[in-house]
Chain A
């Protein structure tokens, strides 16, 4: 049995996630969309905290909210004048979008609901200790991620190179 506080926190977070997501994709002001995204990401971080993944929540705030959204805002400012509203949607597009989104919801939702263990499972376990996280990140055994860590570093280097070469004017 969940405590009332937990349920209230849960409700707020969930509501924030849903509302912000919906608004992020429906608002006609692009800068607002970025802002709603930011809130959605914050809400996600809150969810992580609620699920006792504090490290992850911190990373979420730092990288996503702190990094990516800033990037978005910069690029929005670079590519459009503030106050630019996007034109009203063609209904055909909207219908297609709704069909896509709802069928996704239906199919994936059904597949989740149909699995009893998904419906009934309750949270357990504890917040992973920072030391464990560090060890796992640098370890080579089962459940340890040195190799992906190295691999993603190469990827990030490549992305930097790619970003540079594209962004360069000539």
Chain B
């Protein structure tokens, strides 16, 4: 059995889809953030896999992943800051309650 690229891509895609599912279904904002991390991570895997399998001579995919990890960290930090802020104001981080503005 040959472990071709698709064997790596599909798990990553499933990871991404799990993230999507989590984002849409979770109530806790931090859980949503966790789902987002999954999605970002799946993207990273994709880049790495493409780099390794298709374009092994270069490092573009790897570097993208490297930077993407940094970006993810920054995003998470800021997002958590905002969420904590919300928690301070409303003592609640249920995303469903964050819908004062609509229509």
Task: Note whether A and B form a binding pair.
Answer: yes
A residues with CB within 8 A of B: 1-2, 6-7, 10, 14, 17-18, 21-22, 24-26, 30, 33-34, 37, 40-41, 44, 47-48, 51-53, 55-56, 59-60, 63-64, 67-68, 71-72, 75-76, 78-80, 86-87, 89, 93-94, 96-98, 100-102, 104-105, 108-109, 112-113, 117-126, 128, 132-133, 136-137, 143, 145, 148, 152, 155-156, 159, 162-163, 166-167, 169
| Inter-subunit contact A123/B3 (CB<8 Å) | yes
**Nearest-Cβ distance from residue B56 to partner chain A, whole angstroms:** 2
| Inter-subunit contact B27/A86 (CB<8 Å) | yes
B interface majority secondary structure: helix
Given contacts A71-B76, A71-B80, A89-B25, contact A109 B20 (CB under 8 A): no
B81 within 8 A of A: yes
B98 within 8 A of A: no
| Inter-subunit contact B59/A136 (CB<8 Å) | yes
Contact with A along B73-93 (1 / 0, CB 8 A): 110111011111101100001
Contact size class for B? 35 or more
A interface majority secondary structure: helix
B residues with CB within 8 A of A: 1-22, 24-28, 30-31, 33-35, 37-38, 41, 44-45, 48-49, 52-54, 56-60, 62-63, 65-67, 69-74, 76-78, 80-85, 87-88, 93
Report the separation of the CA atoms of residues A1 and B69 in the bound assembly, to the nearest whole angstrom: 33
